[in-house]
Amino acid sequence: MNLDNVTRDDWIVGGLGIVLAICLILLPWFDISVTVGAFSASASYSATSTPDGWLGILAFIAALAVAADLAIERLSPQTTIPSIGGSRTQTRFILALICAAFVVLKFLFHIHFSLFGWGFYVDVILTAALVYFAWQATTGAPAGFSSRTRPAAPGPPPPPPPPPAGSAGTTGTGAGTGSAGGSAPGGPPEPPAGPGGSTPPPGS
Domain of 39, CATH number, reads 1.20.140
In a domain, 115, yes or no: yes
In a domain, 131, yes or no: yes
Q: Report the distance separating Cα 65 and Cα 171, nearest Å.
A: 81
In a domain, 99, yes or no: yes
Residues 48-88 pLDDT 10s: 998 899 999 999 999 999 999 999 888 887 888 888 877 88
Find the domain containing 105 and state its range: 3-139
Note whether 137 and 86 are within 8 A (CB): no
In a domain, 171, yes or no: no
In a domain, 204, yes or no: no
Residues 116-161 pLDDT 10s: 999 999 999 999 999 999 999 888 766 554 444 444 555 666 777 7
In a domain, 83, yes or no: yes
Report how many domains make up the chain. Answer: 1
In a domain, 130, yes or no: yes
In a domain, 178, yes or no: no
Query: Which string of DSSP letters, residue by residue, matches 104-127?
Result: HHHHHHS--TTTB-HHHHHHHHHH
Is residue 112 pLDDT above 90, yes or no?
no
Q: What backbone phi and psi angles, to 5 degrees, belong to 6?
A: -90, 120
Where do the DSSP E strands lie in the chain? 30-36, 39-45
